[in-house]
Structure 1
Amino acid sequence: MCRATSMATNLAVAVAATAVGCMLVISLTPSHPDADGSRPSGAGPKVTSGHAGSAARAATSALGTTAAGAAPGESEDRAESGEFASPPTGRIEVTAPEPGVDYKANGSFNVAWKNSTGEPVDVWLRAATGHGRSQRVALVVPRAAAGAASEAIVTLPKVPPGPRYFLEVATAGDGAVGGVSRTFAITE
């Protein structure tokens, strides 16, 4: 009897959830129905965006679209006011560590880079996974200086020993612009 009650309760919950879900269906209808086949000016589809990150900015600028809900010419005003910042431009070149040097896990060494983006950077430890791919292992220097030539001390985390590690220096937060070091080995 207890099992039958449990099954009936589960069925009732499933039916109620389905009914509520069906009531929440959003209908996508045009905001200006075409009665005569003509549209008022400005009634076309609008560009919408969520996070104004560098990837979103790059995509909208590459497509030549205006900012979300903005009239032509209005997006330039928003960009000038700082509402939509332009993506970082420039280049990051990692100049140290030198290739062919082995480092110990939990050890420290200097990393240096040239940064023409004017943006602060994050330094990531990456591991090559094969077939030209890699993955981020750890953030080893968060929000480093935005200077044209900078350096920081990296302390490696405890990672498995291996010959195919490298550092990525990329603009902080979005990683839109970045550079990588030569590979190095991490030993025990």
Structure 2
Amino acid sequence: MFYQPKDGHGLPHNPFNAIITPRPIGWISTRAGRGDNLAPYSFFNGIAYTPPQVMFASTARKDSLNNIEQSGVFAVNVVAHARREAMNLTSGSYPPGTDEFELAGIAKAECVTIPCPRVADAPAVLECRLGRILRLEGPDNHLVIGLVTGIHLRDDCIVGGRFDITRFQPLARCGYRDYAVVREVFEMARPDDG
């Protein structure tokens, strides 16, 4: 099968999200005039190492984007498999000003380097200062780039001096309504590892 997106795919469901999989989930927390907000974004990833930078894309103008424009900061909370139901609950469309931390029964803590809430028991949290927001092609697509100013690592996830993802089993988004969980990892040496 071949199709050009401008012509449509002819399938009952759009395969695009299922092709780019698995995708890490950035559980984005923000604070602005109407209060605290928490929402998952699966178009999320790290984009630079030095200085550390991340990005997430928002399709449509949502509370997260509005809050980041107002405050200039946000936090990326890593989603553990054990928090899948709470994460899913925070993905709903709620009226502006709804505190999804309260709605989903998630304990919050304050960030250190930015005025923003974070998921208190997240395996890792990246505190971010807004780098820029880019308007993307399409009716209402936005790319948010953040410069990481602080990193929280849950102590039980540090094993032998490494951040061990098997301790919390990260949740990933696949296509449609499908998710995946990382339970197995393996290591491969690069050809230039000495």
Q: TM-score, normalising length from structure 2?
A: 0.20
Whose RCO is larger (CA < 8 A, sep 6+)? Answer: 2
* Bigger radius of gyration among the two: 1
